[in-house]
Amino acid sequence: MTRMQIVEQIKRKKSYLCVGLDTDITKIPKHLNAASDPVFEFNKAIIDATRDYCICYKMNTAFYEASGLKGWQALEKTVHYIGNEHFKIADAKRGDIGNTSSQYAKAFFETMPFDAITVAPYMGSDSVQPFLQYEGKWAIVLGLTSNKGAEDFELKPSGDSLLYERVIKTVTAWGNPNNLMFVVGATQPEWFEQIRTIIPEHFLLVPGVGAQGGSLKDISEKAMNKDGGLLVNVSRGIIFASDGEDFAEVAAREAKKYQQEMAGYL
């Protein structure tokens, strides 16, 4: 999916919501356990309920890998079920030497029809470049995360800047705003003003709104650009808003709340 297509979706739906399908099989409603593929049945119901309110779905591959072959099958069925109208992110945090990254890119961009994959940049440009060779596909590079461990490296001084700032500045030279996005956690909104001085045009994937405490209002005010420039991910606050048979209905209601709030910021 191209940048123009993403922007068109944002404008048409008045939304920059990304629904995180981080589907923990231990948390899905019990009545689905009788299905041949409970995870896929859950995902399918969530997608049907929320597709009008979001422009994007993100699948954290760990929740699927943990179930072995069945999990991978559920992941593949899910990404095909979503279709082409929505931006599809494999939250896999890959990043390895070039020939290995090339195989990761093939897995997620050819074997499975994802539009984007999250990438860890620690090993440098040759570990990221293979993901940037596909037209209409995106590398979403870890920029600044909001976990406690961010203090171990990301927020340490590096020359006259912080390490995360140096990483973002360096990575921007490897691609462009049409194939590179950055992950920036939502829980510290003051970060976004500085980040926007470095990358005013790039899209940001923003996890941490909702259950993790990030403020949609603060993020939108500090980080939005002329194209929207944000994909705000909400996972647990939507998909696990109910553990009863009404889970899809409740998920739709929660997704609509986010969409309506977002419409007011656009």
Q: Which of 209, 205, 145 is nearest to 181 (CA)?
A: 205
| Spatial separation of the C-alpha atoms in residues 134 and 27, rounded to whole Å | 36
Amino acid at 227: D
Interior CA angle at 168 toward 115 and 4, to 5°? Answer: 35
Residue 97's φ and ψ, nearest 5 degrees, are -55, 160
3-state secondary structure of 53: coil
Strands 157-158 and 161-162 turn out to be antiparallel
Residue 92's φ and ψ, nearest 5 degrees, are -115, -15
Convert 6-26 to b/e letters by CB count within 10 Å (16 or more is b).
bbebbeebbbbbbbbbbbbbe
Q: Which of 14, 70, 93, 257 is catalytic?
A: 93
Q: Taking the CB of residue 245, how many other CB atoms lie within 10 A of it?
A: 11
3-state secondary structure of 195: helix
| Spatial separation of the C-alpha atoms in residues 11 and 39, rounded to whole Å | 31
**Residue 93 known to be catalytic:** yes
CA dihedral 171, 176, 180, 184 (to 10 degrees): 60
Which are the catalytic amino acids? 93
